[in-house]
Amino acid sequence: MKIGVLSIQGGVIEHINHLKALGVQTIEVKKKEDLDDIDGIILPGGESTTIGKIISENGIKDKLKKLIKEGLPVWGTCAGMILLAKEIKNDTRRHLEVMDIEVERNAFGSQINSFIENAIINGVSNNPIPLVFIRAPYISRILSDDVTILGSVGGKIVAARQRNMLATAFHPELTDNLEFHKYFLDMCQK
């Protein structure tokens, strides 16, 4: 199994290290040819405006959008979740527009730009796992019945799945916990 990690900007190496710890082959996706022959792709955190602009210019966006629509498993963390969303409440930009969610950027307020919370995520872990939020978005609205909510923090939806698409507002790659990466690899195996 070979998993791509979109490598434009942001938390790339942390995802790669987690994937390697689970024994899978990885590829840093920097150009559209890197999307060939992958079994899944992770869109890491960072700055969605920057990542969105670059993938739009280098041709990754159109090709990736087509692959996701054809069923390629994808997991967006934080900025990656913003890239997947069909709607962004507080931004005029749109990126891949594949997942039936509306997100709000930087939604946890300026006083708590970053925090860690332990919570149970349905289907991922039966015990609370540490969730790291960094200037995180949350899912402000679910746009279709096709989307399943996997977890909430403080009444805000922070993890969801729609078929081959997984979105988390937080960063499992910044903790020692591998449960989320295992869950995604399971999606990639099916």
Q: Report whether 14 belongs to an annotated binding site.
A: no
Per CB under 6 A, does 45 bind ligand GLN? yes
Please tell me which residue in 18, 173, 181, 188 is annotated as part of the active site.
173
User: How far is the C-alpha of 172 from the C-alpha of 154, rounded, in Å?
Assistant: 18
**Rounded Cα gap, residues 14 and 18, in angstroms:** 6
Specify the 3-state DSSP secondary structure of 101. strand
Kindly state whether residue 52 participates in binding ligand GLN, applying the rule CB under 6 A.
Answer: no
Matching residue, tokens 């079994």: 39
**Is residue 40 a contact partner of residue 72, using CB atoms and an 8 Å limit?**
yes
Contacting ligand GLN (CB under 6 A), which of 9, 106, 125, 175? 106
Q: Which two tokens mark 154?
A: 């403080």
SS3 28: strand
- To the question of whether residue 13 is assigned a binding role by annotation, the answer is no
Smallest distance from the beta carbon of 145 to ligand GLN, in angstroms? Answer: 27
Q: Are 7 and 30 in contact (CB under 8 A)?
A: yes
- Distance between CA atoms of 177 and 173, rounded to whole angstroms? 8
User: Could you say which of 4, 46, 76, 151 contacts ligand GLN (CB under 6 A)?
Assistant: 46
76 is a site residue for ligand GLN (CB under 6 A): no
Whether residue 163 is annotated as binding a ligand: the answer is no
135 is in an annotated binding site: yes
Show which residues are catalytic.
78, 171, 173
Residues near ligand GLN (CB under 6 A): 45-48, 78-79, 82, 105-106, 134-135
Binding-site residues for L-glutamine: 46-48, 105, 134-135
